[in-house]
Chain A
Amino acid sequence: NAGVMQNPRHLVRRRGQEARLRCSPMKGHSHVYWYRQLPEEGLKFMVYLQKENIIDESGMPKERFSAEFPKEGPSILRIQQVVRGDSAAYFCASSPKRTGGGGNQPQHFGDGTRLSIL
């Protein structure tokens, strides 16, 4: 019973480069959520996806950030032209159905990717 798998665990990028963060949900889960955690701050919602669909991206910055969850393969959070302020821990969570919809199911989290921008 593998949990939510994120990779890489740590990622170092220079300003202006691209960062790609991957998330494989738990087996049987089709809903994926991305959160960002800044130092001394709580987790902040970024985006919610189902297979091949972005359901809610209200927490995503309008520029440089994008996310996808293709039919095959992991969900990807992509950050283009990274800046120092993007340094944070990025967590992915998954659930078997929309949390709270027709039977509440909690979100389960991965270990996160710690992104450092030089």
Chain B
Amino acid sequence: EDKVVQSPLSLVVHEGDTVTLNCSYEVTNFRSLLWYKQEKKAPTFLFMLTSSGIEKKSGRLSSILDKKELFSILNITATQTGDSAIYLCAVEDYGGSQGNLIFGKGTKLSVKP
């Protein structure tokens, strides 16, 4: 059965800290891995990763994919209170359904001032 596992489930840090969030997956036919940030409302898109070893960056956030070891990490440097959210990892498996995403349960990040 396809699955996506995120760790840790929750994390509390102080402003300025650097955090690393983990996502491992098992899917039959991997197509892409996506990261989303969910505050109180819509999950907002952060990154889509399809190739191993190529880091994607956006400001203080960066992410990389390892297709051999079947995992991805999301790094946030110099955290701010506004980074507090649930970070969702999702994988697209094109072998079965034609475009649905398989989500992990998320990592709840709390950044204290």
Binding site for B on A (CB under 8 A): 3-4, 31, 33, 35, 40-45, 48, 55-56, 58-59, 91, 95, 98-101, 104, 106-112
Contacts and interface: CB of A to CB of B under 8 A. Distances in A.
Contacts, number: 79
Contacts of B34: 106-107
Interface residues of B, number: 27
6 contacts: A42-B4, A42-B105, A43-B43, A99-B99, A101-B99, A107-B34
B63 to A, nearest CB: 13
Contacts of A33: 99-101
Interface of B: 4, 31-32, 34, 36, 41-45, 48, 50, 88, 90, 92, 94, 96-106
Contact of B100 (A48, A101, A108): A48
Given A42-B88, A42-B105, A106-B48, A100 B43 contact: no
